[in-house]
Every structure is written in structure tokens, then in C-alpha cells.
Amino acid sequence: MAEVQHEPQRDVGATYGVAATDAAADRAVGAPRSPENEREVGARSQLQLAARRFIRHRLALVGLAIFVLLTAGAFVVPLFWKWTYSAITPDYATSPSASHPFGTDTIGHDLFAQVLTATQTSLKTAFIVTVIATIVGTVVGAVAGYYGKLADAVLMRFTDLVLTVPLLAVLLVLANTLSNANYFWIALVVAAVLWTYLARLVRGTFLSLREHDYIVAARAIGARDRRIIFRHMIPNAAGPIVVNATLTVANAILIESALSFLGLGIQPPEVSLGSLINSGQGAATTEWWLFAFPSAVLVLIILAVNFVGDGLRDALDPRQRRVRA
Amino acid sequence: MAEVLLEVENLTVSFPTDEGLVQAVRGMNFTLEPGRVLGIAGESGSGKSVTSLAIMGLLPGNARIGGSVRFRGRELIGLSDNQMAPIRGGKIAVIFQDPMSSLNPVYTVGWQVAEMISEHQDVSKDEAWKRAVELLELVGIPRAAERAKAYPHEFSGGMQQRVVIATAMANDPDVIIADEPTTALDVTVQAQVLEALKTAQARTNAALVFITHDLGVMAGIADEIMVMYAGKPVEFAATEELFYNPRMPYTVGLLASLPRLDTDSSEPLRPIPGSPPSLIDLPSGCPFRPRCPLSRERCEIEEPPLRRIGRDRHLAACHFAEELEERGAEIFAPIADDAEVISS
């Protein structure tokens, strides 16, 4: 595509003040800029700019690579691996070897197959939690923040109520009552709590967005509430929402693991990282691999997701000029 | 007499605050006819912008609004957002002061103009986009088809304000309210944007309410001017009449404080002493009294009404408007000697 040529932009920085765009923010910092740099900044959309900043964020890229590899591995490798996660092999409690890279447990399960499947379960849970929590949280927060007054009071007090409930205790009770707890139900339970964080965040963002001139301008062109919320405000709140969603992924995996570790999440013969760690912990000193591999994968996923979230936060925050790391 | 598009009658707006009731607008009256340009002038806090927001129904919920705003005979005060929606942008369009902040940073400018069209007209996406590009071309955006795909931050301030003007004229509105449309722009760009605004007005034959504190800009565009002080109109006249025969000391002071090309450059500027009153507790009587060189006892007791004086359609709110006919700018003391060094 041909580079778009520019109108003179001499008055831009002074006019905009702290307007929330990358270009304005870049200018506001006042670093000396060469003409070609200027053109580079101007000719890109917000998304392209964000993508560029994300790519410059090393750690986030590494995190993304690890996350993609783990995900792909968890879903693809089991299709070709010689054991399924529930298959009982003739080898009991063997340490890692060529035929069982992660060893086997005392029953004879191939731990490599189990860890892969467990990762799958954890990721699926995290995905469902993130989607539900993000949608519910965004809608609740948006309505509360946009309408204010009664809607805000009712929704936010309800959110507070959910937040004051001791998370783990409720999850234990809920998980316990759900007799056939597959990952979907666990995910619903976790999502029922995690949406609150997003609701608060989105409400706060909306409270400040609501006062922006372009939202008043959107009302002035006759746009109705729903359009203003979904087409004008949510896209502008996308940064915090996306970042929080990534963090929700990590949180969901951790909570699910905690539940399963306590024996109240995923039930055997299904496996999740938490339940594997749980069953491996007793043997941590003798059959260390049973504990070490699932834990390592868990740590790796959480770290990777957090790095991605960190990178996204930097990339999507227009005020952030310097890329960390 | 031509049809009346917009009638504002005794409009009052106040905001309750912890310090007391802020009386932002204390009785605004005007009527608009198609194709006419009404200028509203006044300094910051005189109620200009609040008036325009009140007409559009865009004031925050805590604002107390009184009086009446009728569009083609239909009362607008008290309508719900949903009832106002077809009027906003469709019949009455508004242009805000800062073009950068009134454009949504996440959408292309073409998208935003097209949105205005498809909100009010039953057209396909492609048609709306085509119309948007035409409008952008009309307001003087070069290579509009290409530039429509660019984002607001890729435009200069002047170009952004053209986009906003294109948006405002998109649905052939009957009234365009331009709230300080050139204030955020630098002087060289102002004239071009005014030109674009005039084009928009000529194309749509809309009545234009032009709000500004810049009397120079005002002179170039308005047919009639209303000067506001402390939330009230204090003088109203045809543009020429107002500039040559101001009949309210505040207007006289405003004009005297401007440098002029047609007088001797050694002529000192005559500033208005003091500062505008707080809108929470206004002085009794005439709000301009504390700063007015003509002020007398009567001014303290009685707030002068806006009344017809001598000439046709010339209204002024001053007990002593007639006296100004002879004295003019002389009533204000010239800028002090020591300050003259700076001015010369």
C-alpha cells in the first residue's frame, strides 16, 4: 500500500493536550522526531501501532511463543502419542526415560500423556472462564459505568457482595455439590467469581470515558445508548479489557488447579494440572517426576500468560512510550 | 416573515454545587430563521456553551433547566434521550470546540461521517461511505477517498475540524450549532475552517449558531450578534450595528480592548477592569456593575432588562444605553502609561 501523505501537523501536539491517541501521546512527550519517523507513526492504525509495540516487547513475545507451543502441544501431540492419558502401561513408577519422557505413576499411567491432557483441561477451563467472565464483567461494568446512579449502585453493590464472599470456601462448597464435576462446571463456578474484577475495571474506565468529548459528540449525532456503549465506548476500553482477560486466563488456571489439588475440581479419571500435582505431592521425595513435571508446566503457562498480559498492557496503553524489558 | 426554526425562550440552566447554585444561564432568548447566522459572544463562563448543550439536551443529569426551547414548534426541553436522538444530528447538528477530542480515536474519519449518515438515513453501508467521502471532499479534504480511511490522529487540527463539519452537515440539518469551532486552531487555519463552515451552511441552508469569544472571527461570519455576560444576553444587534454602535458598556469595553487596524497604532488599548462575577452569588442589580464606569445607584438596585433602543432590532441591557451614543469607548480608561511600553 502506498504511504499516505500528510497534512502539515505543526499544531497537532499543542492542540490535543493529553488526548488518548498514540500519535498525540508520542508528540506530547516531545522527543525530537525526524520527518520519516513522523510519517511512520501517522500512517498506522491504533491496532498496528499496538502490534508493533507488542513485538518490541521481548518477554511478551517469548511468553506468547511458549503459550502457543504449549497449547499446540497439548492439543496435537496426544493424537500421535503412543499412550492415552488413561491407558495403563506395563511400567509402574518408572523415572523419566525414552519411552516415558515424564516417567509413569504407581498405577502405570504415562505421565507425559497425562500432563498433556491435563494441560488441555486447564486451558479449556481457562478459555471458558475468560470468555464468560469477560463478557459478563464487561457488560455489568459498562452498564454501571455508563448509566451511573441507580444502575451503578445496584450492580456495584452486587459486585461487592460477590467479592466479599470467601472465594475458596464457596468454590469448595459449589464444587462439592456438583457431583459430576467436569471442567465445564468448574469453569462456570470460577467464572461466577472472576467476572467481578473485570466489572469493576470496566466501570472505572467507563466513568472516565463517559466524560470524553467524543462520547458527548456521539450522543450529539443521535446515537442511542446501546450504540454508544458497544460501538464507541467498549472499543476504547479494549486495552484494559484485553489485558485483564489475559490475567484472568492465568487466574482461572490457578484457581482450577487449586480446586483440583484439593480434590474438589476435576475428578479422576479426568486429569488437570492441579489433580496431577495433588496425586504427585505425596511422592515428591521418592518419585519426584510425578510432582515436578505438572508443576513445571503449570508455572510455565502462568508465567507465559502473565508476560503476554504485561506486553499487551504496554502495547495497548497509548501513554506508555518506552517499552519495558 | 420567514419560518422560525428554533425558538429559545427564557432558557435558564443552573447546577447545584456544594458552594451553592451556579446560575450558568439566566434567561436566554433568541429565534433562528433558515440561512441566518447568529453569533453568540462572551467570555469564558458567560453561558455560551451551556446554552448549546441545553438545546441539544446534552447537559449532565444534575443540571436544572427552565424555560423553553422549541424546534419547529416542538418543545425539546424534557424530551428523553430516545426522543431526542432523531433530532440530534438529523435536525440540529453541533460542532464542538476541540476537534481532536470530539472524534473517536479508534475509528477512521470516514467511518465516523458514515455513522452519522446511517444513524439517520436508511442507506446501505456502501452508500453511506460514498456520501461520507463526498462530504469530506466538500469541506476541503484533499484526496478524500484515500484520507477517509485514515484515523483522526493522522490529521492536523484544521483537517479534523473539517471532518467534524462534514459530519455535522451530513444529514442536511436545519440548525448547526458551532461551539467555538475555531478556538482550538491556530490562526492561519481558522480562516480555512470558517470557509468550510460557510460552505456547509450554504449547502444545507441551515441556520447557524456561531459561538465564540473571538469578535474578529465573529465579524466575518455572523449576521446578528448576541453578547452574553454572566449567563444573560446583554446586547443584540445586526453585526455592523453592534460593531459601530455598541450600546452596552460591556460590549463597548470588549471592542475597545481589541487592537484595530483602522485606528492610529499609538491609540492605547482600553481594558475592562476587574473580572467576571462568580455565578454563585451574583451582585445585586446589574451583574456588570462592579466593572462598569457608568455605574450609578440605579444599577445597584435594578437589573436592567434587555430593551429595544432607538434603532431597529437593536437590544441592550443598560439603563444608560443612550448615553453611550456620545461617549463610546471613552468611558474606559486607556491602559496605564507604564504598560504602554509593552503595547507599542
Contacts of A42 in chain B (CB under 8 A): 153-154
Q: How many CA atoms lie within 13 A of B140 on its CB side?
A: 18
Contacts of A16 in chain B (CB under 8 A): 98, 100-101, 157
Task: Write down the pLDDT at residue A37.
Answer: 38
Structure-derived torsion over alpha carbons of residues B234, B237, B241, B243, reported in degrees to the nearest 10: 50
Tell me whether residues B147 and A42 touch, CB distance under 8 A.
Answer: no
Tell me: the pLDDT tens digits for A32-46? 433 333 343 444 566
Nearest CA among A62, A17, A24, A16 for reference residue A42: A24
Per-window interface: A 133-162 vs B, CB < 8 A: 148-149
For residue B11, list its beta bridge partners: B28
Per-window interface: B 102-131 vs A, CB < 8 A: 102-108, 115-116, 119-120
Is there a contact between B93 and B175 (Cβ–Cβ < 8 Å)? yes
Q: Is A59 on the interface with B (CB under 8 A)?
A: no
User: What phi and psi, each to the nearest 5 degrees, are found at residue B299?
Assistant: -65, -25
Residue B22: Cβ within 10 Å count:
17
**CA-based nearest residue in chain B for residue A39:** B154
Q: Which residues contact B95 (CB under 8 A, 6 or more apart)?
A: B161, B164, B165, B168, B176, B177, B178, B179, B181, B197
| Helix or strand (DSSP H, E) at B178 | strand B175-179
The DSSP letter of residue B289 is: G
One-character DSSP codes across A25-94: HHHHHT----HHHHHHHHTS-HHHHHHHHHHH-HHHHHHHHHHHHHHHHHHHHHHHSSS-TTPBPS--SP
Q: Assign A30 a pLDDT band (cuts: 50, 70, 90).
A: very low
Exposed, middle or buried, B7 (CB in 10 Å: 0-12/13-18/19+)? middle
Task: Write down the pLDDT at residue A178.
Answer: 65
In this predicted structure, which of A46-60, A151-165, B39-53 has the lowest mean pLDDT? A46-60
Q: In CATH, what class is A55-316?
A: mainly alpha
Could you tell me the three cell numbers for B215? Answer: 469578535
- The residue written with cell numbers 455565578 in the block is B279
The DSSP letter of residue B60 is: -
| B266: amino acid identity, one letter | S
Contacts of A19 in chain B (CB under 8 A): 100-101, 105, 153
Task: Write down the pLDDT at residue B129.
Answer: 95
Mean pLDDT across chain A, nearest whole number?
78
Q: Which residues contact A4 (CB under 8 A, 6 or more apart)?
A: A42, A43, B146, B147, B150, B154
Report H helices in A102-237: 111-147, 149-164, 167-177, 183-209, 213-220, 225-227
| B303: amino acid identity, one letter | E
Tell me: the pLDDT tens digits for A218-231? 988 888 888 999 98
The full set of domain ranges for chain A reads 1-44, 55-316
Q: Which domains does chain B have, with CATH numbers?
A: 6-222 (3.40.50.300), 235-343 (no CATH)
Is there a contact between B76 and B90 (Cβ–Cβ < 8 Å)? no
To the nearest whole Å, the CA of B281 is away from the closest chain A CA by: 27
Task: Write down the pLDDT at residue B265.
Answer: 67
Task: Write down the pLDDT at residue B341.
Answer: 44
Q: How many CA atoms lie within 13 A of B249 on its CB side?
A: 24
- Reply yes or no on whether the pLDDT at A142 is more than 50: yes
Q: Which residues contact B1 (CB under 8 A, 6 or more apart)?
A: none
Q: Is B136 on the interface with A (CB under 8 A)?
A: no
Contacts of A7 in chain B (CB under 8 A): 142, 155-156, 158-159
Tell me: the pLDDT tens digits for A170-211? 777 776 676 566 778 888 888 888 899 999 999 999 998 888
One-character DSSP codes across A254-282: HHHHHHHHTTSSSPTTS--HHHHHHHHHT
pTM score, two decimals? 0.76
- Which of the residues in chain B have pLDDT under 50? 339-344
Q: Assign A111 a pLDDT band (cuts: 50, 70, 90).
A: confident
Contacts of B86 in chain A (CB under 8 A): 222
Contacts of A149 in chain B (CB under 8 A): 61
Q: Which of A12-21, A268-277, B18-27 has the largest mean confidence?
A: B18-27
User: What phi and psi, each to the nearest 5 degrees, are found at residue A102?
Assistant: -105, 10
Q: What sign results for the dihedral spanned by CA atoms B328, B330, B335, B341?
A: positive
To the nearest whole Å, the CA of B13 is away from the closest chain A CA by: 18
In this predicted structure, which of A17-26, A301-310, B274-283 has the lowest mean pLDDT? A17-26
Per-window interface: B 216-245 vs A, CB < 8 A: none
User: What phi and psi, each to the nearest 5 degrees, are found at residue B224?
Assistant: -130, 150
Q: Quick check: helix, strand or coil at residue B155?
A: coil
Nearest CA among A319, A320, A316 for reference residue A46: A316
Tell me whether residues B61 and A149 touch, CB distance under 8 A.
Answer: yes
Is there a contact between A11 and B189 (Cβ–Cβ < 8 Å)? yes
- Reply yes or no on whether the pLDDT at A277 is more than 50: yes
- Reply yes or no on whether the pLDDT at A112 is more than 90: no
Nearest CA among B226, B117, B103 for reference residue B170: B117
